[in-house]
Amino acid sequence: MTTEPLAWFKSSYSTDGGQCVEVAADLIASHGVVPVRDSKIQSGPVLALPVSSFSAFVAGVKAGDFPV
C-alpha cells in the first residue's frame, strides 16, 4: 500500500474491549482503498478494501442489513 504511517481511527460508537475495527482514510484519494484492521491486533493484517465496497458495507450497516 504505502510506506507512510497511516492515521487510524475507530468509530466513536466503539467501546473499550469491544470487537472493533479501525480504518484509515489516508489512501482514499491516492489509491482508492480504505485500509481496515482489527483494533485489538494493530500489528496484524490490514485489509485494503476498494472505496465502493467499503461504502456499500457502511450503507448496509446503517440500513440494518447485518443484525447482531
Task: Tell me the per-residue pLDDT of 17-34, one tens digit each, with 9 for 90 and over.
Answer: 667 889 999 998 899 999
User: Per DSSP, what are the bridge partners of residue 36?
Assistant: 23, 47
Length of the chain: 68
- Return the closest-CA partner of residue 33 out of 8, 9, 52: 52
Q: Where do the structural domains in the chain lie, given as residue ranges?
A: 31-63
pLDDT tier for residue 1 given thresholds of 50, 70 and 90 = low
Q: What is the rounded average pLDDT of the residues 37-58?
A: 93
